[in-house]
Structure 1
């Protein structure tokens, strides 16, 4: 299992664990809400019965009346008493600024003026109560009926939204923590990349210099100035020098200069194609006159990494085509590198650029990761899998800004 797939499984496992915690919290909170809601309905029923007793038995002794009032006033849910026609004649726990009489919490006796209240406000409250709970119907001794409506107390309302607030805060904390730790991890990775690159460039420097001297000595000793084999050997030594130069540039701001893109790509393809199978055809097409700001050694490295993946994806005979196209409206240059190899599953379009991702047994999974870094960080561009189909091939797209609108990348 490659490291990327292992990391993905760990992330998936942690996501499931977080979902279990969130689900458990919601289930337990809903259980508490259900019990508290049942308790509040019981309180509402007790309040309705006590209010009915006050209304139906106005002549009972003062001690009993005081007891009934104490029971009624201890129940804190907002409530409304209405008749069958939704005419409101008593309420409690609502906004006291909506009524202008001092005895608004007293039961309305026969002959007592009806309280003055804001009809729109109380009708809205009645509608809310109807939506939250079915009414408690109380039959009076005179044959009439009361419809008692109530809504959740502030405590129950807060308890209903508490788990969502809690989970939102946890999610925000996790996002911030993940961002911070991911930034730290990337910074550490960058330091490792930088250290390895500088050390590799340093280690390669001495043997490359020696090889260059040996090649010149062979030419002089055997009078082989025009020998094609010696020339190819010299080209490979120069290539090693370019590779060492690439590693030395990692971590520092590269120098970008305007170059004819077609010429740069053509030169690299001419070098690359004689070092791979002659059964693979290379084609460079498109606009031959566009210019882009490039660091040629690093951009050659980008092309090399993508084309190596393309050649590895081709089993025997195949074709690799590089097409250059300028989008004048967007002031961008599109470079499409297509092959007719095995293809990439759509689910892996982003994964191929992750460090450590590889489908080869002996691969390190670093080529495309470096490619993305060099295109985006050093050339202020983009690279992605434009299209791919299993068994038919893959197209990578590189997007660069035209040299006329280039803005230096922030390294």
Structure 2
């Protein structure tokens, strides 16, 4: 298991623990809510019995106690008769509940009324939440509808608010930590790259001097082997220049995309197996803003990736064209290698991901950074089929429509 897969596994483990904690919090809160609901049901039953006692009581000395029991309940409730007609309410909006608990015999024309639509809405809510409590009276019966108290409603809502706050906090903390970690990684990358460029400088200068000495001593000005050595030393200079540019904004200039790719392919193909053929096709007139050393690095990484994917004989084709609106240059690097599983189309660009035993898993990650951060483009796996090959696509802005 490589470092990226190990990191991914730990993310899943932490997510599983977070889900367990969240589930435990919800379970415990629901447990408390159920117990409070049972308690409120009991209180509502006591309140119902107190109302019945008030209606049928003959002992006036006992009534104050009954009223105290009845009024001690803070549960919102509405009482209706068997016909569904409103009789009494408590614990509702005081600005809309005006009917006092007085017998019909003493009601007058001046008795305050109430808001029927409000009571009807509250009644429907209560019916949906709890079964009513039935009070049998000498003449018919009453039904007491009630709903969750404010405390119980808040308790039910509390875990979701709590989890939301925790989630926001964790998200902010993760974002800050991730940003700090990336910044630290970038500093390490930049420092390592610049130090590498610095270390390469001395041996490259020495190699150039040795080549000049060989030319003079053995009269090898036109020797093809010496010419190839010079090309390799120049390539080392370009590599050192690439590393020196990491961390700083590179200078972009207008270049023919076809010429830039064709020049590098011509250099690259003589340094790999003869069993692999190379072809550059497409529009030769497309122009983009490029930094040649860094753009060559992009193409080099894609070509090396393609070469490593080909087992035995194969071919690599680079096709350059535009989309329908011609405001983008599309560069497809097509190989006949072993292919990439569809589930790994995004993973291949992650640092540390590699299928090679001695690979570092940095090539495609650096390629993505150079295309997106330095050339304001895009790169993705356009298509791949196991055993048949892969197509990587680079998208750049087309600054001139000569084609």
Same fold (TM over 0.5): yes
Deviation at 1:111, TM superposition (A): 4.2
Deviation at 1:115, TM superposition (A): 5.0
Offset, 1:363: 0.6
Aligned counterpart in structure 1 of residue 88 of structure 2, from 81, 87, 90: 90
Q: Equivalents in 1 of 2:282, 2:254: separation in Å?
A: 18
Q: Distance in 2 between matches of 1:6 and 1:180?
A: 22
* Cα distance between partner residues in 2 of 1:209 and 1:105: 102
Offset, 1:274: 0.9
What are the superposed Cα offsets for residues 116-161 of structure 1, whole Å, 9 maximum, x if unpaired? Answer: 1111110000000000111111111x14111110010000000001
Tell me which of 343, 346, 350 is aligned to 2:346.
350
State whether residues 356 and 365 of structure 1, in contact with CA within 8 Å, keep that contact through their aligned partners in structure 2.
yes
Where does 1:9-408 land on structure 2 (aligned, <5 Å)?
Answer: 9-57=9-57, 59-62=58-61, 64-99=62-97, 101=98, 104-113=99-108, 116-140=113-137, 142-327=138-323, 329=325, 331-403=327-399
Aligned-CA RMSD value:
1.4
Q: Determine the C-alpha separation between the residues in 1 that align with 2:293 and 2:210.
A: 24
Q: Is the 8 A contact 1:310 1:339 kept in 2?
A: yes
Q: Take 2:42 and 2:346, find their aligned partners in 1: how far apart are those partners? A: 58
* Structure 1: 4+ residue segments shifted above 2 A: 104-115, 327-330
Q: Deviations over 1:256-297 (max 9, x none)?
A: 000000010111111111111111111211211110000000
Instruction: Work out the CA distance in 1 between the residues paired with 2:117 and 2:96.
Output: 10
Counterpart Cα distance in 2 of 1:186 and 1:387? 30
- Is the 1:208–1:237 contact (alpha carbons within 8 Å) kept by the matching residues of 2? yes
Deviating more after overlay: 316-325 vs 183-192: 316-325
Deviation at 1:112, TM superposition (A): 2.4
CA contact (8 A) 2:338 2:387 kept: yes
1:249 Cα shift?
0.6
TM-score, L = length of structure 1: 0.94
Q: Is the 8 A contact 2:286 2:400 kept in 1?
A: no
Aligned residues: 399
Does the Cα contact within 8 Å between 2:327 and 2:399 map onto a contact in 1? Answer: no
Distance 2:312 2:71 in 1: 89
- Uncovered stretches (5+) of structure 1, i.e. residues with no partner: 406-411
Are 1:79 and 1:151, in contact at CA under 8 Å, matched by a contact in 2?
Answer: yes
Contact 1:55-1:107 within 8 A present in 2 as well: no
Q: Deviations over 1:147-206 (max 9, x none)?
A: 110010000000001100111111111110110000000001001101111110011001
Q: Is the 8 A contact 1:90 1:107 kept in 2?
A: no
